[in-house]
Amino acid sequence: MRAALIIGAALLVAACSQEPANSESADDFANRVGAPWSVSAGGVPAPVETTAVKAAPPASADVFQLEKLGNIGGVDLGPRAGGCTFSVGGQEMLIAAAPADRALPGKATVRIGGQLLLLDAAPGGIEEVRSGTNFTGEGFSALVTRTGADRASLTIADAAGTQKAFAGNWVCS
């Protein structure tokens, strides 16, 4: 009996330690979302912001030029019951989350001008985020409109009311 338990435990450990054949490697993930460093004009790696701030986009930045999110390890989207990601051509451009409580707002982040910017949604909880909603930041907004099961349009509007729409995927968990 004891031998059977030891053999069973050994088989369980071996099974848990094997990676599924179709899993994404750490390098694949880093390439997909962006490495935590970029190369500066002098060819020296420069740190990329990994935390989102509630601020206007950098003065020289074009709000219509969304950038790949990259390393978002320091982004705090608050308490959440799930989240959604908007991507274009496999590149994540906006990530959002919200708590289950419909009385509470969701949050999102985008990268503009190298800076991760925090956006707020109206109360509605995660269901509001999943169905598509408007996220507002300082000087711009990002409206997600569902166009299909996993498809959506992301419309960026600047302070003057100029808009630009992007078609992409809206995948939620």
Inform me whether the pLDDT recorded for 124 exceeds 60.
Answer: yes
Inform me whether the pLDDT recorded for 1 exceeds 90.
Answer: no
In the structure encoding, which two tokens stand for residue 61, read together?
């930045």
Inform me whether the pLDDT recorded for 146 exceeds 90.
Answer: yes
Cβ(12)–Cβ(4) under 8 Å? no
8-state DSSP, 22: T
- If one counts the domains in the chain, the total is 1
Domain span including residue 107? 49-172
Question: Residue 48 — φ and ψ, nearest 5°?
Answer: -105, 140
Question: Residue 112 — φ and ψ, nearest 5°?
Answer: -135, 130
What predicted TM-score, i.e. pTM, was given to this entire model? 0.73
Cβ(107)–Cβ(120) under 8 Å? yes
Rounded Cα distance between 2 and 43, Å, is 61
In a domain, 36, yes or no: no
Quick one: which of 6, 58, 84, 69 has its CA closest to 35? 69
In a domain, 130, yes or no: yes
Rounded Cα distance between 103 and 106, Å, is 10
Residue 40 confidence (pLDDT): 43
Inform me whether the pLDDT recorded for 51 exceeds 90.
Answer: no
pLDDT band at 133 (very low <50, low <70, confident <90, very high): very high
In a domain, 135, yes or no: yes
In a domain, 15, yes or no: no
Cβ(126)–Cβ(81) under 8 Å? yes
Cβ(170)–Cβ(150) under 8 Å? yes
Rounded Cα distance between 79 and 52, Å, is 15
What is the percentage of the chain residues whose pLDDT exceeds 90? Answer: 68
Rounded Cα distance between 86 and 77, Å, is 15
